[in-house]
Chains A and B, each alone.
Chain A
C-alpha cells in the first residue's frame, strides 16, 4: 500500500513536471546552501587545524611577561628567560619530547651580491623536533657547535631559494651581521601559516652563537617545548608553570611574570571562530529551507483545489479520509525529498568547486547530509499536513460537483 501511494505521488509529480520543479526549487536552493556553507565551513576549520598541526599541536611555549592577561607593562618589566631555564625544564619535567630555547631578530642575510631581510633565530637542535620540521638537506647542529657557539646556520626554504636559486647550499657561506656562517642544513618547506606569514623565511643559528655574536646578551625570548605523544599538555603545562614560578622566585600570592601557551588553546580559539561562522551561515541557509517549505505548502494547497474532483472521485470509489490524507502527505514528502536530494547534489558540487577555489580541503560530512534530508522530509510533512488534511476533510458530494 505504501508503495502504491509512493508511485501515485511520483505520477502526480510527473503529471505537472514544470510546476513540481519550480515548487521544489526553494528546497533545492535551501539544502544546497546549507550543504555548501557547512562543507566549506568544515573545510576552513580543517585547514586551520591542519595549519596549526604543522606548528606541532603538542607544542607549548614559555614567554616572559603576562601574555594576553591585563594591559601591558608587566611584559617589559618581567625579566627575560635564560638558557638555564630551558635546561631545567628538560631536566625536571617528565613527558617532554624536546625543548628549544630561542631568540630571534630581523637581519640582512647576504650571500655574494644577493641579500635578503630575514628572521634569524638562535636556538638548539631541539627546534626542528619541537616544531616537527624535517631537514630537506644537510644536518642539524651538532652538540659541539651548540656548546662552542660555532658560526654555522640552517637556512629556511625561502632563503635557500632566494640566495642559492636551487643550488646545493650545504658547505657554502652566508653573512649575518658581518660574520660568516657556514650553511650546514636546509629546512623543508612549510608554506604559509594560517596567519599569512611565510614560515620558511628564516635562518637558524646555535643559541649561544646568536647570544654572543648577534644579540650581545644572554636573553632567551621563548622556550618551545613539545610534549611526548599521549602526554596531556595540560599536565605538562601545570608542571612547567610550577617549575618556572620556583625558578623565578615568585611568592605564592604574586602573579606569574611569564606565561605558558598551549597550541591546543590556539587551535580551539581559531576553530571556535570558524565554527561560529559556519553555524551562522548554516542558519541563514536554513531560513531559505523554511521559505522552500512554505512554497511546497502553497503549491499543495493549489493542487488540492485543482484536484478536488479527483479527490471526490477517489472518495466515491472508496478512499477513506486517511487514504486521501496519506496520498497528499506522501506527495509533499516525496516532493520535498526529491528537492533535498537535488539540493545535496548541487550543494556538494558547489562545495567542491568552492573548496578548490578557496584552497581549503573538501570535507565530506554525511551527518549534515542526513540532517538535510531529514529536514526536507520534515518540511514536507509539516507543510504538507495542512493541505492534506484539507483534502481529506472534503465532502465527497461537494468535491464531485466542484467545477
Chain B
C-alpha cells in the first residue's frame, strides 16, 4: 500500500476571520456585536450574509471592508493581518482592493454619474483621460451608457444603485462588499441589481459578499451565512 498522497496546499482564502470579536463600550455597558466569528471566503465566491436585525452583519462587513478592526481575534485579507495596519494603511488597502455598495447608495449629490464613478480613481492617482474612459466603461458594464451626465437627483433608485456599483467596480477591486444593496429598491429593480452582481461575479471572477434580509436575493449567492447574536448560526 502506498502512503496516502499529501493534500495539495489549499490556496489562502481572500477573507479569513478567526475568532473575531467586536465589543462596543466597556465593563457593564459592553455590547458584543460579534462573538468569535470564524469565516472564510475564497476568491471568486458569492456569499450572502443573512440574519435578524442587530445580529452583527454590518459589524462583520465593516471589519471585512477594513473600515474597522476586530477587538479580538484575527482578520486576514489576502494574507495581510488587517488588525496590525494603521488607519491610513487600511485606507490604502480599501483604495486598491475593495469596492463598496451601500444601502443608501451614498452618491455625491449634484455631481454627475461619471464624476461619481471617477471618484475612487482620483484617490488612486489615475490621470484624467484614463479616468474618464474607465468610468465610462464601468457605467457601460452596469447598463448606464448615455446617463453619464445625469446627477443622482435625475436618476431612479435602481439607476442610482447601478451607478454605485459602477463606482465600486471601476477600480477593479478584488472583493465587492454590499450591505443591503437592494434594501431601498422595489422587487424588480432588486432582481436587476442581483443579476448585475451575479454577472460580475461570474464573468470577472469578482468575490462578492452581500448582506441581505431577503431570501429571494440570497438565493443568487453560492453560499448563505446566517448570523445570530453576533455569531454564525448556520451556513448553507
- The smallest beta-carbon distance between B51 and chain A, in angstroms, is 18
- B-chain residues with CB within 8 Å of residue A317 when the two chains form the complex: 94-95, 100, 119-120, 123, 167
Q: Is the Cβ of B87 less than 8 Å from the Cβ of A314? A: no
Which A residues touch B100, using CB under 8 A?
A: 316-317
Nearest B residue to A323 by beta-carbon distance? B123
Whether a CB of chain A sits under 8 angstroms from the CB of B150 is: no
B160 to chain A, nearest CB (A): 13
- Among A4, A316, A321, A322, the residue within 8 A (CB) of B67 is A316
The answer, among B94, B110, B111, for a CB contact under 8 Å with A318, is: B94
Interface residue? A272 (CB, 8 A): no
Contacts of B68 in A (CB 8 A): 397
Tell me how far the C-beta of A112 lies from the nearest C-beta in chain B, rounded to whole angstroms.
Answer: 84
**Chain A residues with CB below 8 A from B123, complex form:** 314, 317-320, 323
Taken together as a complex, chains A and B put the C-alpha atoms of A397 and B92 apart, in Å, by 16
Q: How far is the CB of B135 from the nearest CB of chain A, in Å?
A: 13
Closest chain A residue to B119, Cβ basis: A317
Within 8 A of B (CB), among A5-64: 11, 15
Interface check A312, CB cutoff 8 A? yes
A284-316 residues with Cβ-Cβ distance < 8 A to B are: 309-310, 312-316
Interchain CB contact under 8 A, A314 and B88 = no
Q: Does B80 contact A (CB under 8 A)?
A: no
* Distance to closest chain A CB from B100 (angstroms): 5
Evaluate contact between A397 and B95: CB separation under 8 angstroms. no
B67→A318 contact, CB < 8 A: no
B39-56: which have CB < 8 Å to A? none
Residue of chain B at shortest CB distance from A314: B119
CB–CB B120/A318 < 8 A: yes
Q: What's the least CB distance linking B76 to chain A, in Å? A: 20
B201 within 8 A of A: no
- What residues on B are CB-neighbors of A135 within 8 Å? none
Measured as residues with beta carbon below 8 angstroms from the partner, the interface class of chain A is 20 to 34
Query: Per a CB cutoff under 8 Å, which of B95, B102, B110, B167 touches A400?
Result: B102
A397 to B33, CA, bound (A): 14
Contacts of A316 in B (CB 8 A): 65, 67, 94, 100, 102, 106
Instruction: Specify which chain B residues have a CB less than 8 angstroms from the CB of A315 in the assembled complex.
Output: 67, 91
Docked pose: A315 CA to B119 CA in angstroms? 11
- The 0/1 profile, CB within 8 Å of A marked 1, for residues 99-111 of chain B is 0101010101111
Chain B residues with Cβ below 8 Å from A314 are 119, 123
Chain B residues with Cβ below 8 Å from A318 are 91-92, 94-96, 120, 123-124, 171
A400 vs B167: C-alpha distance in the bound complex, in angstroms? 16
Q: Is the CB of B92 within 8 A of A320?
A: yes
Q: Output the least CB separation between A18 and chain B (Å).
A: 14
Q: State A1–B125 Cα separation when bound (angstroms).
A: 7
**Cβ-based interface call for B172 (8 A):** no
- A396 contacts B by Cβ under 8 Å: yes
A171 to B65, CA, bound (A): 106
Give chain A residues whose Cβ lies under 8 Å from the Cβ of B190.
none
Q: Does B122 contact A (CB under 8 A)?
A: yes
Beyond A317-B94, A318-B94, A319-B91, whether A310 also contacts B124 by CB under 8 A is: no
Q: What 0/1 pattern do residues 71 to 103 of B give for CB contact below 8 A with A?
A: 000000000000000011001101110001010
In the bound complex, residues from chain B placing their C-beta under 8 Å from that of A310 are 106, 108
With CB as the reference atom, state the residue of chain A lying closest to B94. A318
Q: Which residues of A have CB within 8 Å of B171?
A: 318
CA distance A310 to B104 in the complex (A): 12
Residues on B with C-beta less than 8 A from A309 are: 104, 106
Report Cα–Cα, A312/B94, bound state, in Å. Answer: 13
CB-CB < 8 A to B87: which residues of A?
320-321
With CB as the reference atom, state the residue of chain A lying closest to B87: A321
Q: Nearest Cβ in chain B — how far from A228, in angstroms? A: 67
Distance from B209 Cβ to chain A, minimum over Cβ atoms (Å): 14
Minimum distance in angstroms from B233 CB to a CB of chain A: 24
* Distance between B112 CB and nearest chain A CB, rounded to angstroms: 10
Q: Is B62 an interface residue (CB 8 A)?
A: yes
Closest residue of chain A to B167 (Cβ to Cβ) is A317
Residues of B within 8 A of A323 (CB): 123
**How far is B121's CA from A4's CA once the two chains are assembled, in angstroms?**
11
User: What separation, in Å, do the CA atoms of A15 and B112 have in the docked complex?
Assistant: 12
Residues of chain B contacted by A322 (CB below 8 angstroms): 88
**In whole angstroms, how far apart are the Cα atoms of A318 and B95 in the complex?**
4
List the A residue with the shortest CB-CB distance to B104. Answer: A309
Instruction: Report chain A residues within 8 Å CB of B65.
Output: 316
Kindly state the separation between the CA atoms of A323 and B92 in the bound complex, as whole angstroms.
11
Interface string of B124-166 (1 = CB under 8 A from A): 1100000000000000000000000000000000000000000
- Chain B residues with CB under 8 Å of chain A are 62, 65, 67-68, 87-88, 91-92, 94-96, 100, 102, 104, 106, 108-111, 119-120, 122-125, 167, 171
Interface residues of A (CB under 8 A from B): 1, 4, 11, 15, 309-310, 312-323, 396-397, 400
29 contacts between A and B (CB under 8 A): A11-B111, A15-B110, A309-B106, A310-B106, A310-B108, A312-B106, A313-B102, A313-B108, A314-B119, A315-B67, A316-B67, A316-B94, A316-B106, A317-B95, A317-B100, A317-B119, A317-B123, A318-B120, A318-B171, A319-B123, A320-B87, A320-B91, A320-B92, A321-B87, A323-B123, A396-B67, A397-B68, A400-B67, A400-B102
Q: Name 19 extra pairs, CB < 8 A, besides A316-B67, A397-B68.
A: A4-B122, A15-B109, A313-B102, A314-B123, A315-B91, A316-B65, A316-B100, A316-B106, A317-B94, A317-B167, A318-B94, A318-B95, A318-B96, A318-B120, A319-B95, A321-B88, A322-B88, A397-B67, A400-B67
Q: Please list the 3 inter-chain residue pairs (A to B) with the smallest Cβ-Cβ separation, ordered nearest first.
A: A318-B95, A313-B106, A320-B91
